[in-house]
Amino acid sequence: MCAAGRRWGRRQRALLWVMLLAAWEAAWGQLRYSVPEEMPKGSFVGDVAKDLRLQLPELSHRGMRILNKGRTQYFALDGKTGHLVTAERIDREQLCRLVEKCALRCELIVEGEMQVYRIEVEITDINDNTPSFKEIELEERISEMTAPGSRFPLPDAHDPDSGRNSLQSYELSGDEHFSLAVQTGPGGDQRPELVLAKALDREEAAFHELVLRAMDGGDPARTGTARIRVTVLDANDNAPVFSQAEYTVRVPEDVSVGSTLLIVTATDADEGVNGHVEYSLKKVSDRTSNIFHLDSESGEISVFRILDYEEGDSYELEVQARDGGGLFDAAKVTIIVTDVNDNAPEISMRSALSEISEDAPSGTVVALLHVEDHDSGPNGEVRCSLDGTLPFRLQSSHGSYYRVVTARELDREQVSEYNVTVRAADGGSPALQSSAVLALRVLDVNDNAPVFAEERYSARLAENNAAGALVLTVRATDADWGQNARVRYRLSEGRVRGAPLSSYVSVQAETGALYALRSLDYEQVRELRLWVRAEDGGAPALSSNVSVLLLVVDENDNAPQVLYPPPALAPRWSEAGALVAKVVAVDADAGQNAWLSYELAKATEPGLFRVGLHSGEVRTARSPLARDAARHSLVVVVKDHGRPALSATATLQVVLAESVAELLAELGSAADEAAAPGEPAVSLTRWLVLAVAAVSCLFVAFLLLLLALRLRRWRRQQLLPPDSGALRGVPVSHFVGIDGVRAFLQSYSHDVSLTADSRKSQLRFSAGGSFPGSIFSFEHNVTGFSSFSFNPALFHHYLLVCMVPFDVLLYYYY
């Protein structure tokens, strides 16, 4: 019971060690399996998925495949079960002819992870080969004088199997004169020898027939046979002797076919037939016999076919020299093949990407490659590099594997495709090299916003445009590709005169064409300032804005508009050039279309009045005469400078009066004529008289207030400065017309002068040059007035002038 428990414990520990060993090898990327040779295709080798701890659905998702070294595919991966199976029938003797342990190596490529796992499969031998002799019919020539105990080498049998399945023993049968002895060679091989057990007598028996059997250790055992015919010769007492017991020669692998490698020499002291020596190869494999040739007469060993260091770096031959009497000698020949740099490095892509995103981080693996050189020593040492200054670098992996990784972030807008050339050079002299090209396309990422062709846009559009008129086209480009480079346009939100901006203009989303949605009026909107946004099709989308200035160009679509004048007054004693009235007009247009000119189109008395071309001022062209009518009608034409020019007319009533009474009568008459039908003329006259009285009272009150202020100031002064300057004129306010148009009526100045030296002061009200003289004048000293004077005529004229504002009032009243 205890012994069984101990055995069970030992099994468990052994199983645990096996599992730990498998786990350790899997962790280090190495799997080991064994399979007998000659197994049919599809035979189970190992459970790769289980050993690598991979789930079955991940096999197809990760892109796993088996890569065999060499031209023949011996193993494959079953994608459904995750098992490693045989892809071909495997013959161990063909693959590992001279190797005791036969192992095939393959690699498991996990493309999704850029990982490589090495798999080693040992091919175990089965007894599928029978020992065989190179020649099944042998002939030995032995002199009858040969002493018993003499030994004669026999050819070896060859069994390609290994281990116990290989050649194990020999047997000899057929004659009592001979026995079999088996010697062990330096390499552990068995060398059969024919031993003369009993003296020969040619006269008794000239020939002896023997059978040599070679047996392996398989179960069941296999046996190969060879027949030996021994011919008894007359006496030959000298055997051939080689000049060297061992020959060694070194030859490069590129030696030409037919070249002589060395000459072996053996001499025999006998004469005649017994002294003639012939050379032959003994114990040589089929492979060796196909490579080298031995001349039986001269002993010259030459190359029969091209040598290849990678196939075999040394060969051992056994050369036998035999004379005509059957005596022989043997020598060992070792041919060492030296490597020549005749193999360029081989680059194979185990796994590679064809596309990579431009935002892939630095260090991303894009290819896994294997580099191998079949030469040895410095000729097989490989150095790998990348051509050019590309954003990639080589990273050495385990063994002869390299990874191509990104050295920095990529930019598709600069380079959209890469041809990465991997170059491998060996250490030979001269060095051999090879290259492989990795084609890699960079996938776009939306990392560029649209860029407008101009920093800002501006356009001019004539007013009164047709709805839907094209204004301009904005254009933006995106350096990205595909959907990320597709640009769409739209307007930013805004308002114009309280209305949405989108009711004035629109932008075509695909082309960037900007259209006017309505007819624009320069007098309402002179410019539109807006923003256009360009947005690409990425996710998330990137955008940029540009400002657009739309200037509305004025057209001459508005005629001048006359604001006034009302009826004008002029004294009959006015001089030529006296200002009578001013025609004020405005034009809603701008620029040249709003430049106005005035001309007198019609007058009751031609030549009496004239109109300023640009000012619109109506002045007397000459002094009025007594025969001139009291009332005059003037028609003034106002034109702009547009093309074509637009115009308007103004009719001006001018009254020439001698006195205030005549002025009131004429104004009343003008008011009656201007009154609307059905309105009493008495009411107009009443309002006219009240207006004149009110204006006069206000003016007199203003004069009195001004005099009081000046007198108070004078009383405070004890003595005026001698160089006191005159009191400067006080400007009268200017009238401001409709819509902010300033209408210049008439400026009158009021001059007050104080003279310290004469102790006189004078207050003068002058009327624009048309009414010269002083209304009031007075002198004073320190204690008070000395004299005072009043000019009633000038005051009467000034009252007429004071009626000008009232004229304007009447104009707006009616």
- C-alpha to C-alpha distance for 730 and 749, rounded to whole angstroms: 6
The widest CA-to-CA distance across the chain, in whole angstroms, is 204
Q: How far is CA 667 from the centre of its chain?
A: 88
Compute how many other C-beta atoms are within 10 angstroms of the C-beta atom of residue 114: 20
* Domain at 25-122, CATH homologous superfamily: Cadherins (2.60.40.60)
What type of residue is 452?
F
Q: How do 278-282 and 314-322 pair as beta strands?
A: antiparallel
Give the pLDDT confidence score for residue 801 in this predicted structure: 46
CATH 2.60.40.60 residue window(s) in the chain: 25-122, 132-233, 241-338, 346-440, 451-553, 561-669
CATH level 3 topology of 561-669: Immunoglobulin-like (2.60.40)
| Res 8 pLDDT > 70 | no
pLDDT tens-digit map of 441-494: 999 999 999 999 999 999 999 999 999 999 999 999 999 999 999 999 999 988
Contacts of 777 (CB under 8 A, 6+ apart): 762, 763, 764, 788, 789, 791
The pair of structure tokens assigned to 101 is 């342990």
Average pLDDT rounded to a whole number, residues 171-194: 85
Q: State if pTM tops 0.85.
A: no
| Res 15 pLDDT > 50 | no
Give the pLDDT confidence score for residue 661 in this predicted structure: 63
pLDDT bracket for residue 24 (50, 70, 90): very low
Calculated CA dihedral for residues 94, 99, 100, 103, nearest 10 degrees: -70
- C-alpha to C-alpha distance for 152 and 167, rounded to whole angstroms: 20
Q: How do 157-158 and 132-133 pair as beta strands?
A: antiparallel
Give the pLDDT confidence score for residue 668 in this predicted structure: 61
Class at the top of the CATH hierarchy for domain 451-553? mainly beta
Worst-scoring range by mean pLDDT, 1-10, 342-351, 403-412, 621-630?
1-10
Closest CA to 75 of 111, 124, 33: 33
What type of residue is 127?
N
Q: What's the CATH number for 346-440?
A: 2.60.40.60
Helix (H) or strand (E) holding 222: none
Which CA distances in Å does 552 have to 416, 452, 457, 590? Answer: 46, 24, 14, 11
- C-alpha to C-alpha distance for 686 and 674, rounded to whole angstroms: 15
Helix (H) or strand (E) holding 799: helix 792-813
Give the pLDDT confidence score for residue 325 in this predicted structure: 78
Length of the chain: 814
pLDDT tens-digit map of 305-326: 888 888 888 888 999 999 887 8
Do residues 194 and 154 lie in contact, with contact meaning Cβ atoms separated by under 8 Å? yes
pLDDT tens-digit map of 500-552: 998 999 999 999 999 999 999 998 899 999 999 999 999 999 999 999 999 99
Average pLDDT rounded to a whole number, residues 230-254: 87
- C-alpha to C-alpha distance for 223 and 214, rounded to whole angstroms: 6
Closest CA to 190 of 214, 220, 226: 214
pLDDT tens-digit map of 138-178: 888 888 888 899 888 888 888 888 878 888 889 998 888 89
| Res 747 pLDDT > 50 | no
pLDDT bracket for residue 59 (50, 70, 90): low
Give the pLDDT confidence score for residue 660 in this predicted structure: 57
Worst-scoring range by mean pLDDT, 14-18, 385-389, 437-441, 586-590?
14-18
Contacts of 284 (CB under 8 A, 6+ apart): 134, 317, 318
Give the pLDDT confidence score for residue 423 in this predicted structure: 95
CA dihedral over 411, 413, 416, 422, signed as positive or negative:
negative
- C-alpha to C-alpha distance for 560 and 276, rounded to whole angstroms: 146
pLDDT bracket for residue 663 (50, 70, 90): low
| Res 560 pLDDT > 80 | yes
Compute how many other C-beta atoms are within 10 angstroms of the C-beta atom of residue 587: 21
Give the pLDDT confidence score for residue 694 in this predicted structure: 85
Q: What is the DSSP letter of 771?
A: B
pLDDT bracket for residue 7 (50, 70, 90): very low
Closest CA to 236 of 269, 192, 265: 269
Give the pLDDT confidence score for residue 58 in this predicted structure: 64
| Res 99 pLDDT > 80 | no
Worst-scoring range by mean pLDDT, 106-115, 590-599, 614-623, 753-762?
753-762
SS3 readout for 42-97: CCEEEEHHHHCCCCHHHHHHHCEEEEECCCCCCEEECCCCCEEEECCCCCHHHHCC
Average pLDDT rounded to a whole number, residues 362-389: 91
Q: How do 355-357 and 433-443 pair as beta strands?
A: parallel
- In percent, how much of the chain has pLDDT > 90? 36
Do residues 422 and 348 lie in contact, with contact meaning Cβ atoms separated by under 8 Å? no
- C-alpha to C-alpha distance for 702 and 709, rounded to whole angstroms: 11
| Res 19 pLDDT > 80 | no
Do residues 502 and 478 lie in contact, with contact meaning Cβ atoms separated by under 8 Å? no
Name the average pLDDT for the chain: 80
| Res 277 pLDDT > 60 | yes
pLDDT bracket for residue 289 (50, 70, 90): confident
What type of residue is 375?
D
Taking each helix axis as running N to C, give the angle between helix 681-716 and helix 660-674, from 0 to 180 degrees, rounded to the nearest 10.
Answer: 140
Q: What's the CATH number for 241-338?
A: 2.60.40.60
Contacts of 18 (CB under 8 A, 6+ apart): none
Give the pLDDT confidence score for residue 252 in this predicted structure: 92
Strand partners, 422: 386, 436
Contacts of 384 (CB under 8 A, 6+ apart): 371, 394, 402, 422, 423, 424
- C-alpha to C-alpha distance for 372 and 387, rounded to whole angstroms: 19
Q: How would you classify residue 422: left for phi > 0, otherwise alpha for psi between -120 and 50, otherwise beta?
A: beta
Q: How would you classify residue 678: left for phi > 0, otherwise alpha for psi between -120 and 50, otherwise beta?
A: left
| Res 328 pLDDT > 80 | yes
| Res 75 pLDDT > 80 | yes
CATH level 3 topology of 132-233: Immunoglobulin-like (2.60.40)
| Res 227 pLDDT > 70 | yes
Q: How far is CA 322 from the centre of its chain?
A: 83
The pair of structure tokens assigned to 523 is 């007098």
Give the pLDDT confidence score for residue 60 in this predicted structure: 63
Give the pLDDT confidence score for residue 12 in this predicted structure: 44
